[in-house]
Amino acid sequence: MTPPRRLFTALALASAAALIGCDSGEAIDYSGPTGDWPIYQGDPGAMHYSPLDQVHRGNVADLEVAWTHRSGDYSDGRGEVGATTFQATPIVVNDTMYYCTPFQRVFALDPETGEEKWVFDPELRLRGGAGPYPLNCRGVTYWEEPRPKPGQECQRRILHGTRDSELIALDADTGLPCSGFGDNGRVALREGIGEAPPWEYYPTSPVLAIDDLVVIGALIADNLRIDAPSGVVRAFDVRSGRLVWAWDPVPPAWKKDPNGPTYALGTPNVWSILTGDAERHLVFVPTGNPAPDLFGGLREGIDYYGSSTVALDSRTGEVVWHFQTVHHDVWDFDAASPPTLFQIPGVAEGAPAVAQPTKMGMIFLLHRETGEPLYPVEERPVPQGGVPGEKLSPTQPFPTHPEPLHPTEITPDNVFGFTPWDRGYCADLVRSLKYEGPYTPPSFEGSIQTPHTTGGMNWGGVAIDPVNGLLFTNQTHMALVNQIVTREEAEQLDLSEIHYPNELYLMTGTPYAIRRFPLMSNFGAPCNEPPWGSLQAVDLRTGEVRWRVSLGTTRDQAPPPLWFDLGAPNFGGGIVTAGGIYLIAATTDHSFRAFDIENGEEIWTQRIPVPGNSVPMTYRLGPDRKQFIVLAAGGTPLSKVGDHLIAYTLPN
C-alpha cells in the first residue's frame, strides 16, 4: 500500500529539522578582515598572530576538515630511508600554498582545495639513517622583486635550505630552479666549515629574506667532538646566490688560525629560526652551544656568543648587540626559540622589544635596538662543583618580569608515581643522584637537570596577541640525568646497545664522555610531578601569569583506560587569532586543540592521525571566502609517523 502524501511531507519536515538541529545555527560572517600567511611564522618577527576572526571562540567547535594533502614522504626508519618528522608550517601568498617535506620536496598547492600546482624534487642524496636526527624540513621562504620585469623567470622566488647542505631558489610560479642563482639554482653551504660527514651539518629551519639577502644558519650534531663544524651564519644575494657576508661567532678578540678552515671550528651554531626587522636592518639570531655541549673546560672563551640572542646588521653581518641567556652553558640550554619581536603600549612604555623564550622556562624581554633588558634581570648564584677541568659560571641570569615559568623543585618527597611501587622507585632514584637546584652541573654520580634539554620552551616559540598584550607559551615539564663518564669507562661500553632516549656521546677531544637519560620510573612515566605539559598566558604589561592549564593527556602513550589529564610532553607551537582562540597540537596524544584566550578553557579538540609536532597557520584570501586553519601532522620516530597536511574550515 502506498503511504499517504502527508507521511512523505512529515518525514521531509522531520529530516530538515534534524539537519538544522545538528548545526550551530550561526551563519558564517564574511564582514571581517582577510589575509594570507606569507612568512613562516606569520610575520618577520615571529609573533604567531593573525588578525582573522571569522573562526572565533563561539564557532571554533564547528570546524571540520576541508581537505588533506599527503606527499608520501615519511618513514619510520626501519628501511633504507632514515626516520622522518613532519614539522612544516606552510606559507600562503599570491593564492598559492607552499610547503616542504622531510625528503626536502617542495609542493605548491591551491590553498582552498589542496590540489597540486607543482612539485619540486631536489633528489635528496642524504636519505639514509646515519646520524642522530630524523629527516625534517620546517618551512620555505618567499621573496619577490620590488620592481618585477614582466616575462622574466624567478621574479617571485621560493628559497629552501636542504639536508644536503644546499640553498635552493625556485621560481614560485613554476617550481623550476632559478638559473641565475648559484649553480643552476643551488648554492653549496659546506665551504669553509671544516671536515664533517654529511649528517653532522645542514640547515633545518627556514631562511630569512631581508634587504634582498638570504640569511641562513645550520644544525650541528651535538656532543660529538670539540672540533665540530663552524656555526657560521651567512647571507647570500637573493638574485645571484653570491656570498655577501658571514658572521663567524667567535669572541671579538679572537685570533684566527691562518692554517685553519675559513671559519672557526666548534663555535655556537644557529639551528633555530631567525627573525628580522627590515626597518632597522636587524637580524635576530638565537645561538646554540659551542662544541661539545656538556663539557666546557676547554672552550677558552669561544662560548662568548653561546646560548644568546644576537642582533646583526642585516646589510653587513656586524654584531649590533648580544644578550646571553645562559653563561658557560653545559646543559644544552641553547636558545632554541625564535626571538619574537613586538611593540605594545604599556609594555616598557611601548619600546620596540624582543622576547627571547628559553628552554629553562624563562622569557627575557629586551630592547630591540640595544639588547638591554626592559625589566630587571638578576644574576643569582647557582650550584658549583663540576668535574675536574670544568669552569662554571658562579651566577646565571634570572628575569623578574615575568618570573621563571618552569617549576624546578624535585626531591624524594615530591616525586610522582601511579602506585607506591613506582613512586618509591623514583624516590630512591632521586636520592642516588645529585640535585642542588637549577643549573646543577653534570657530575660523575649523575646530576638531575630540570627542565629537560627539549624544554621548557623550544623551537615552536611563543605567540603574542598585540591587542590584549598577552603572550602564550606551551612547555614540557620533564627532567633528565647527566652523568660524566671517563674516557676509559666510555671505551668499555657497547654503543650498539645505547639508543635514544638513553644516550652516550663521546665528546672526542675532551677527557670525558657523557651519558644522558630521562628521569623516569620503572613504569616509564616521568618521576617529576605533573603536569608534564602546560599552556600559559602571560600578561606582558604586568608580568603576571593570567592563567595556566595542563596541555595533553596520556592517551596514545598508555593503553586504555589509563588515559589521564596529566599533561604531555610537547614539541611544536601554537598561534593566536583575533577570534579569541589559541590553536595548538604539539602533544604526544593525537589531538589538535583550541583554547579560549580569556581563561584557558579548552573549547575544541580534534583527533588527528598522528601527533602534530609543528606550528599551525591560518588565512582567508578574500571577502567572499572562508578562513582556513592548516596543520602538519607527521609525528616523530618515538610515536607514529605520517605525512598529513590537514586544512580545517567552517561548514557551509
Q: Which residues have a catalytic role annotated?
A: 332
The CA dihedral of 140, 141, 142, 143, to the nearest 10 degrees, is: -140
Give the whole-angstrom CA distance, residue 27 versus residue 178.
45
Give the whole-angstrom CA distance, residue 530 versus residue 418.
11
Residues in the chain: 652
Other beta carbons within 10 Å of 331 = 25
Residue whose C-alpha is closest to residue 299's, from 258, 261, 260, 327: 327
The CA dihedral of 504, 509, 512, 517, to the nearest 10 degrees, is: -20
Q: Cis before residue 501, ω within 30 degrees of 0? A: yes
Q: Cis before residue 402, ω within 30 degrees of 0? A: yes
Q: 535 CB contacts (<8 Å, ≥6 apart)?
A: 472, 473, 474, 475, 548, 549, 550, 551, 574, 582, 584, 595, 600
Strand order in the sheet with 116-120: 91-93, 96-100, 106-109, 116-120
| Secondary-structure breakdown of the chain: helix, strand, coil percentages, each rounded to the nearest 5 | 5, 35, 60
* Residue 527, CB-side half-sphere exposure with 13 Å CA sphere: 33
CA distances (Å), 318 to each of 263, 323, 327, 529, in order?
A: 15, 15, 22, 45
Give the whole-angstrom CA distance, residue 353 versus residue 376.
14
Burial of 48 (0-12, 13-18, 19+ CB in 10 A): buried
The CA dihedral of 290, 295, 296, 302, to the nearest 10 degrees, is: -20
Residue whose C-alpha is closest to residue 367's, from 377, 378, 355, 357: 355
Please list the residues that pair with 593 across neighbouring strands. 584, 605
Q: 80 CB contacts (<8 Å, ≥6 apart)?
A: 127, 128, 129
Q: What secondary structure does DSSP assign to 74-91, as a single string?
A: ---SSSSSPPB------E
CA distances (Å), 265 to each of 15, 148, 195, 268, 492, in order?
A: 72, 41, 10, 9, 29
CA distances (Å), 26 to each of 29, 34, 620, 650, in order?
A: 9, 20, 19, 10
Torsions phi, psi of 357, nearest 5?
-75, 155
The x, y and z cell numbers of residue 498, run together, are 645505547
Residue whose C-alpha is closest to residue 616's, from 647, 578, 650: 647
The x, y and z cell numbers of residue 620, run together, are 582567508
Give the whole-angstrom CA distance, residue 294 versus residue 223.
7
